[in-house]
Amino acid sequence: MNTYRYIVNDIRTSLKQIYDDADISMALVVYWMHIFGDALKKQHIEKYSSGAFVSVFRNVPVTADIDTNMPYPFVELPQGIYDYDMDKGIDYITYPYTYTQGRKQMVGNVKFTRTSFSALERLNMREEERPSPSNPYFVRSGERVYLIGVERINLASVEMGLKTTFDVTATITLDDPFDFPEHLLPLLRRQILEMGRFVLMVPDNLRNDGTSQDVETTVPSTRAMGSAIQQQQQQVDPNAV
């Protein structure tokens, strides 16, 4: 898997080959990687049934809701998730339970089923669908996920499988792996280069560099830009840190 360092250096080197004085910071390139990467990654995950990008969070603490009149315990999403239809950004929620099989004590997992507050009345009308510790449900409301059917048991934590977004506020190191579909890297790279081109195409006489210039600056065309990118070297600058 590619690291942040490799991709950031590649993009900054490409921009410098087109604009000699290009000065796009590493932090800005990483921000663009997250913003554009989220849009592409969301579409990719939606198309494929795969666990490649499911993040598992164990021991997510369960809290009794004391702030509102909701009579249900809840968990806070440990990280941002993609907002898919039917809350499919939440892959699963489970909690362990112990049961007896013959003379043995067995440990299994109870899985929560997604529902909505408007559907709870209907669920309570049928015995086989009624929420209970063995047949629990979850309802998402903003960053909270309410757990229905486990109100009367001492549930301290749950396990969650989530399709998470990039956390733009998280502290990363450049040698961390970039968790992104490999086949979409060329498209992501092109989008970031286009953004870098847009930023760097501001004419010199409009830049606040402390000098007075009345000469009109010639801005490279998009076609010339594309040709330059296609001819660039693929080697990463080893001095870029």
Q: Which two tokens stand for residue 112?
A: 């929560």
pLDDT at position 16: 82
Mean pLDDT is lowest, of 54-68, 156-170, 192-206, 225-239, for: 225-239
pLDDT of res. 33? 95
DSSP string for 69-118: S--SEEEE-SS-B---GGGTTEEEEEEEEEEEETTEEEEEEEEPEE--GG
pLDDT for the residue 15 = 85
Q: What is the pLDDT of residue 203?
A: 58
pLDDT digits (tens, 9 = 90+) for 102-120: 777 778 899 999 999 999 8
Identity of the residue numbered 82: Y
pTM (whole model) above 0.85: no
